[in-house]
Amino acid sequence: MNDAGSLLLAIGVIGLTTYGTRVLPFLLGARGDALSRWIEGSPVLKALGPSLIAALAAVTVGPDAVKAIEAGRLLPYGVGAAVTVGVLIWRKDLGTAVLAGIVAYGGVFAVVGG
């Protein structure tokens, strides 16, 4: 297959996968309870969501963190991580914790640089 064909195939697969993940909850409708019970009964599926979030975080933050480690400038990462964990323990809300960690990281980065 040529490069253009491979690219179009990849775009098609990504598009169908994205569409499927968006429309599946609506198609299940009232049967959503059955899906929830199925996920709760499977330790693999139960761990899938947090595992994907951790993988995305590692891929996104990893390269910059390695550069910061090599340059000895870890303060923004440390403060951001500490604030994230602290807010998560305090509020028990992942969204708020991540937002607070991002703001803390950005603030420290703006003041001391990264």
User: Per-residue pLDDT tens for 49-72?
Assistant: 788 888 888 898 888 888 888 888
What is the reported pLDDT for 1? 55
- The DSSP output letter for 114 is -
Measure the CA–CA gap between 55 and 59, rounded to whole angstroms. 6
pLDDT digits (tens, 9 = 90+) for 30-40: 555 666 776 67
Report yes or no: 51 and 59 within 8 Å, Cβ to Cβ: no
The domain limits of the chain are 1-41, 56-114
pTM, to two decimals: 0.55
Q: CB within 8 A of 75, min separation 6: which ones?
A: 108, 112
Return the DSSP state at 1.
-
Question: Token pair for residue 3?
Answer: 């490069």
Question: 105 with 78: CB under 8 angstroms?
Answer: no
